[in-house]
Chain A
């Protein structure tokens, strides 16, 4: 399991209800179900991945988060997880609002567009950045709304979204983001992980 999922599963308490939005092949869900006795559900747009999840006994619904989240009642999950997908929605703001509505707490992770390699790529090569985390060309990327750690934090502040935890990952190393180090983390981290409500 990738480091990001370890960080997310550490945040999630045992025996709680979790919705994994864009759950992929269900790796995180399976871990939470087996090791933390979480009651997990998933939402995933790709049929093949949904079938894989159902095969593993995971309750996953095939569907697009931009259309499907509306059906879940208010605060019906203790945690809603959105891993590295926010930037791919047509309307990330609306999706985020839905996540906050459904979950008592929401865990969002974002690939950090402020990462120094990305900055240097654009500065020196003058072409759209391609990195290990964001491996797409400009013409085939699913990522419509890239943002930086700073952007996300600013957004939460503007929307009065409370950030309970903010962490970042740099080369598999986990650290905390604070008011003091955010400028630095915004340059040196590849991924931001936030617990919000």
Chain B
């Protein structure tokens, strides 16, 4: 076992949506900053599809910077001098939490596709055990983008009185047909790789193609055009071949190749499935506002103007549902040409909104307690 990965073994049993019950399973997590005495400064960050618990600093496994390093840290938008940040690797993930690349104790074999299908609800429920373990009764905030945002919505719906504030970013309350289609494309790319069925091999090619396709969906057309245009890669003219003539091709190939080093193909299948199955509206018989009926959290919904994967209209559905039940909600669409990826990039207006909103919640919570 890698000692750089903190693990908490959940000894309670968790009844998964698929009907199976799991027990005694690990959840890998990381924390940043210090939990104050009142335990009132904890922020739970939910990671997106290919993220992990290493939010900031250098990821000890990949040796790369954490996926939200510019947003979380001392003096950053989510200031770890002030707040205690917790992030767990999702159930089904591949950074130490219980997932398809772990060994099934019953068979002594790697789970692979015998791992149970998990849902966003299962992911969130498993993290509640971690909060109990850390002794946190009420979080200052729950925050996440994309699939992280779905977890935020599921969390406040399951635990209406466990977070002072909730920040779902660039997400949707119900995965759209287009998004299911794109995920299916990725899964089929993995399954089409002949290595996928061989236990001793990894379907690197398939996973890389899945990542390449997904990566395109994270960017905007304008952003791609501006960054790459028709620029050629290290050459003066077209080579009349299928090599990566264009910079965009080379960039995507690089993204694909890099990804396979750090991600498990079966985890990719499981997590995309969890996203596809996410339909909070359906959990409440077609009335999304019932999901938030009892919520005490103050919401800040954020979308990005050039995000076509989780467009503003889908984020607004959340706002509308919250308004319909009289919840406390603010909403802003941030102008950015960086597409869905904006939430993972240094977009100053986004970071300022995030930072100010959390700070205002922190001040309100602490003033309340002062009185």
Contact = CB atoms under 8 A, between A and B. Distances in A.
Given A61-B331, A62-B331, A62-B333, A55 B353 contact: yes
Nearest to A59: B330
Contacts of A62: 331-333
Contacts of A50: 330-332
Given A57-B364, A60-B330, A51 B353 contact: yes
B332 A54 contact: yes
Interface string B299-341: 1100000000000000010011001101011111111000000
Given A71-B320, A71-B323, A54 B329 contact: no
B362 to A, nearest CB: 10
A71 B324 contact: yes
Interface in B63-100: none
A56 B359 CA distance: 9
Contact of B357 (A39, A41, A57): A57
Given A47-B333, A51-B349, A72-B323, A59 B328 contact: yes
Contacts, number: 64
A63 interface: yes
Nearest to A70: B320
B326 A76 contact: yes
A58 interface: yes
B253 interface: no
B296 interface: no
Contacts of A53: 330
Nearest to A69: B323
A39 B364 CA distance: 14
B352 interface: yes
Contacts of B299: 59
How many of chain B's residues touch chain A, expressed as a range?
A: 20 to 34
A41 B319 CA distance: 13
Contacts of B300: 54
B356 interface: yes
A104 B329 CA distance: 20
Nearest to B298: A59
A61 B360 CA distance: 16
Contacts of B335: 47
Given A54-B300, A57-B363, A61-B323, A41 B328 contact: yes
A135 interface: no
Interface string A32-58: 000000010100000100110111111
B364 to A, nearest CB: 6
A61 B330 contact: yes
B195 interface: no
B361 interface: yes
A44 to B, nearest CB: 10
B82 to A, nearest CB: 16
Nearest to A49: B332
Contact of A55 (B323, B331, B356): B356
B298 A55 contact: no
A162 B66 CA distance: 60
B331 A51 contact: no
A56 B323 CA distance: 20
A27 B364 CA distance: 18
Contact of B332 (A39, A47, A56, A57): A47
A72 B320 CA distance: 8
Interface string B349-371: 10011001100110110000000
A129 to B, nearest CB: 35
A59 to B, nearest CB: 4
A61 B319 contact: yes
B213 to A, nearest CB: 32
A126 interface: no
A58 B316 CA distance: 18
Interface of B: 298-300, 316, 319-320, 323-324, 326, 328-335, 349, 352-353, 356-357, 360-361, 363-364
13 contacts: A54-B300, A54-B330, A54-B360, A55-B352, A55-B353, A59-B329, A60-B330, A60-B331, A61-B319, A62-B333, A71-B319, A71-B324, A76-B326
Given A57-B357, A59-B298, A61-B329, 4 more contacts: A39-B328, A47-B334, A61-B331, A72-B323
Nearest 7 interchain pairs by C-beta: A57-B360, A55-B356, A59-B330, A71-B320, A61-B331, A50-B332, A62-B332
